[in-house]
Amino acid sequence: MPCKISVKSVAFRQYHLEDTMRKFKTAKVLFAALTALSICIYVAAAEWLNPPPKGVYNETNRVLITPEAERPLGFVVLGLWPSGHQYYFLPDLNRMGNVGPEQKRRIMEQFYWLNFEFSHGDIIQYLPAYTELYVALPDRNLVKESEGNEKGYFIGYLKAHCNFTDNDIKKRVHFFYSAIQLEWAQDSCKIIGRVGRDEKNRVMIAMSEGDMDKYVITVKTLVRTFPDVFSLKQLGSGISGEGGDEDIAWTPDNKVALFCGRHRVTQYIYRKTGNYDEMAPVTQNQIEEARRAYSEAFFGLPVYFVPEKVLLNPDLGSKETFHFDMFATMLPNPGKGTPRVFIPTYRYLNMTKIFDAVSNLELDKNVVRKAQSEYDEAASQFKKIGYEVVRLPFSDHPVRNPVNIVKFHNKDTGKYTVMLAKYPDLLPMGNPNTPQARVQKALDMLAADTGRWQDNPDENNYNALLKTISGLWDTMDLVAKLPNPIYDMDKKIVEKYGYRVITVPSYAWGAGGLHCQLLY
């Protein structure tokens, strides 16, 4: 029997259908609103937890000029030594005519790993997990010592000593070719900030054609190899882009300024006139001319040359303190107050003698006096500008000062962070049990066993050499844990002012510190 549907029934069903549609549309609107709200909350939380770098946005040139300490260390550029090079601490491997290919490969690889650790410290392990590495491989056509094994050796080092997986290397490590052994990557150019406001936008690199030719070639190759990551700003040949002698930082009046060591002025004069004497006095007019030129090249930033008084009276300065990062590092105040500058000092330790950690010889008292004078002049100028000046005591050659650091704003923790090099304690001199003496003893053993192996590369000597190499790594691990009273004092001072300190085990050799080695 067919079902009869009344008009009333149809109307009832129509009503319920329309009511259901209304409820559905209301729910859809509510869902959309909640989704939008969730997105806003997520974005706000992301901004709060991982804020974009702070700086000054130059509207005309569309560049976010970012103080170095505000950058998250999302990337670093560093260089590798050529694999056929004679390494600074390690025995010469020039007598391997009787050595089999497998023994030769493995020992050369081990020496390469050791050299990277000695020349860079243990810095790779202490970079944030999000930091990407842009690694300069020596171009065999331009760096004659290169044997072309650097990439494989370095990947092996990352796996064996830094716990990198294949996936880490794929995601975080990028290679390009360099015209030079890029030991001091910071000096090759100057990072200004980002093109645009977005952290994902390209990094702007300022470079000068007037700087060292091989630096110019290398920086151009970096930008050409990774055009989606880096962009290039030409400073003009009269202006230097030597990054170790330049810093971008907040000033006490909440502006962003360019700070340069005094040698940028003497370089400017030399490039203009052809006459150069780093210890000759310059005039105030020459200083002002250089200031205007640097400000124009760096988007109109205020420019300070430090210590300016030493430019007028070079007797107050030192030939040993030739870069800004050897006598000053500036950090924002975590408490939102006056920004700070950290400057080294030989005072406050009551030491009558200062020893060089590499040579173990007493530093000439005139070298110490001149360096202290430059430190004090810098401190005086920063005080006049309005900075809070903090002095960090140390006892070594000026090249291994405690302000040559890596500073960044960690995007995971939201804290201003300092990577501070901890060298093996060398005091008291003559004590065979100091950390520095232990490292030297292990190196002496390595030299002896390397010589025996090269003279007679049989299995016994080969295995003995491998055991000595393993023992050297053990010594380095042990020494990294041993105290260094002066380092501990500096760390405590920096932490007292609210910064997080990451200790980077490092080794005294004839070159600069952590800041010199990384471009970021």
Q: Per-residue pLDDT for 44 more than 70?
A: no
Taken in order 40, 41, 44, 50, is the CA torsion positive or negative? negative
Pairing of strands 173-178, 132-138: parallel
Where residue 52 falls (left for φ over 0; alpha for ψ -120 to 50; beta otherwise) is beta
The 10s digit of each residue's pLDDT in 221-231 is 999 999 999 99
Rounded CA gap, 55 and 197, in Å?
Answer: 9
Q: What's the pLDDT at 280?
A: 86
Q: Per-residue pLDDT for 67 more than 80?
A: yes
Out of 32-36, 83-87, 337-341, the most confident range is 337-341
Of 26-35, 224-233, 504-513, least confident by mean pLDDT is 26-35
- 490-513 b/e with 16+ CB inside 10 Å = b? bbebbeebebebbbbbbbbbeebb
Q: What's the pLDDT at 85?
A: 81
Of 69-78, 124-133, 148-157, 195-204, least confident by mean pLDDT is 195-204
Rounded CA gap, 264 and 191, in Å?
Answer: 17
Domain ranges of the chain: 60-423+484-517, 424-483
Q: What are phi and psi of 321, to 5 degrees?
A: -100, 75
- Please, where are the H alpha helices in 298-416? 308-312, 365-385
- Mean pLDDT, to the nearest integer, of 195-200? 86
The answer to whether the beta carbons of residues 274 and 268 sit under 8 Å apart is: no
Rounded CA gap, 134 and 176, in Å?
Answer: 7
The answer to whether the beta carbons of residues 150 and 83 sit under 8 Å apart is: yes
pLDDT band at 94 (very low <50, low <70, confident <90, very high): confident
Q: What are phi and psi of 184, to 5 degrees?
A: -115, 70
Taken in order 119, 121, 124, 127, is the CA torsion positive or negative? negative
Rounded CA gap, 138 and 81, in Å?
Answer: 7
Q: What's the pLDDT at 9?
A: 40
Q: What's the pLDDT at 510?
A: 64
**What average pLDDT does the structure give for the chain?**
90
- Mean pLDDT, to the nearest integer, of 5-31? 45
- Mean pLDDT, to the nearest integer, of 72-82? 97
The 10s digit of each residue's pLDDT in 361-418 is 999 999 999 999 999 999 999 999 999 999 999 999 999 999 999 999 999 999 999 9
Q: What's the pLDDT at 277?
A: 79
The answer to whether the beta carbons of residues 146 and 140 sit under 8 Å apart is: yes
Q: What's the pLDDT at 19?
A: 53
Q: Per-residue pLDDT for 301 more than 70?
A: yes
**CATH class label, 60-423+484-517:** alpha beta
Percent of the chain past pLDDT 90, that is, above it, reads 83
Rounded CA gap, 488 and 495, in Å?
Answer: 11
The answer to whether the beta carbons of residues 226 and 174 sit under 8 Å apart is: yes
Decide which of 5 and 491 is more confident.
Answer: 491
pTM, two decimals, is 0.88
Q: What's the pLDDT at 53?
A: 60
The C-alpha angle 319, 310, 248, rounded to 5 degrees, equals 90
pLDDT band at 198 (very low <50, low <70, confident <90, very high): confident
Structural element, H or E, at residue 392: strand 388-393
The 10s digit of each residue's pLDDT in 439-450 is 999 999 999 999
Q: How are the residues of the chain apportioned to helix, strand and coil, as percentages rounded to the nearest 5?
A: 45, 20, 40
pLDDT band at 49 (very low <50, low <70, confident <90, very high): very low
The C-alpha angle 456, 460, 464, rounded to 5 degrees, equals 100
Two structure tokens written together for 473: 């790594």
Candidates 186, 241, 183, 181; CA nearest to 211 is 241
pLDDT band at 237 (very low <50, low <70, confident <90, very high): very high
- Please, where are the H alpha helices in 364-426? 365-385
Q: What's the pLDDT at 509?
A: 79
Rounded CA gap, 422 and 122, in Å?
Answer: 10
pLDDT band at 199 (very low <50, low <70, confident <90, very high): confident
**Count of CB atoms within 10 A of residue 456's CB?**
11
Q: What's the pLDDT at 473?
A: 98
The C-alpha angle 478, 519, 60, rounded to 5 degrees, equals 155
Q: Per-residue pLDDT for 255 more than 70?
A: yes
Rounded CA gap, 81 and 135, in Å?
Answer: 11
Residue 498, amino acid: G
